[in-house]
Amino acid sequence: MPKTALVTGGSRGIGFGIATALAKEGWDLVINGVRAEESITAPLAELSAHGVKVGYARGDIGSVEGRAGIVSVANEFAGGSINLLVNNAGVAPKVRADLLETSEESYDWVIDTNLKGVFFLTQAFARGMVAAKKADSSFEAAIVNITSISATVVSINRGEYCIAKAGFAMLTQLFAARLGGEGIPVYEVRPGVIKTDMTSGVTDKYDNLIAEGLCVQPRWGFPEDIGKSVAALARGDFPFSTGQVIMVDGGLTMPRL
């Protein structure tokens, strides 16, 4: 029986790289985003071309109503509970402001989406996964969280983003501990500098840093790098590694002399 994955923020960037990797492995997909469905027909069609079913759950994970709609659409599409939740959606600060200038408005917006929203979306789907496994012990489920090296690497011009990602990393640990006894692994994938629309405004900065040795592997990361790691976790290639962090950063965070 086909398994279903929900990829939040899955119509572009890292999320689309993840969705593509899962589609190639035969996963039916529910893609979440905030744009109208008619504006993302091309990526949805590209995913469908891999021979899988693809649905769209429009909704803002930062709002109660948005999360409720996502859960309803995804579970209806799956005919019960989804098998895999990939928490990828997130926002960057609208303005990269010095830590001493960070506004409450920016802080609340980033935290509500990147941390609070993810927590309660995960909670909702975890409840469904636990219920599905109790009803059918053969039901397979997992959760993969896409965080960032910003969980531990300081950027003083986007402190609210770093705080959210650090909390997100703890969220992985919490749900891994809670769901381990239920047979539901929870993993964290921690990307480094990835070439997406989110990093397009700082391309020159990172081109220079990479050329100067920022990463052990002297290149940008790409969405497909993240997709391959998620696909391996989704296949169950790491069955005894719940709660663990998979670094996909080209060695950027490796201590070096």
| Burial label, 82 (beta-carbon count in 10 A; 0-12, 13-18, 19+) | buried
Beta strands 28-33; 142-146: pairing state: unpaired
Amino acid at 234: A
Alpha-carbon gap, residue 126 to 130, rounded angstroms: 6
Q: Known catalytic residue: 161?
A: yes
Interatomic CA distance for residues 62 and 68, integer angstroms: 11
Helix (H, G, I), strand (E, B) or coil at 16: helix
Query: Which residue in the list 56, 107, 161, 187 is annotated as catalytic?
Result: 161
Q: Which residues pair with 28 in a beta bridge?
A: 4
The SS3 call for residue 161 is helix
User: Starting from the edge strand earliest in sequence, which strands make up the sheet with 28-33, in order?
Assistant: 54-58, 28-33, 4-8, 84-87, 142-146, 186-191, 245-248
Name every residue whose Cβ is closer than 8 Å to that of residue 251 and which is 6 or more positions away in sequence.
215, 216, 217
The answer to whether 155 touches 140, Cβ cutoff 8 Å, is no
Q: How far apart are CA 251 and CA 247, in angstroms?
A: 8
- Catalytic residue set: 161
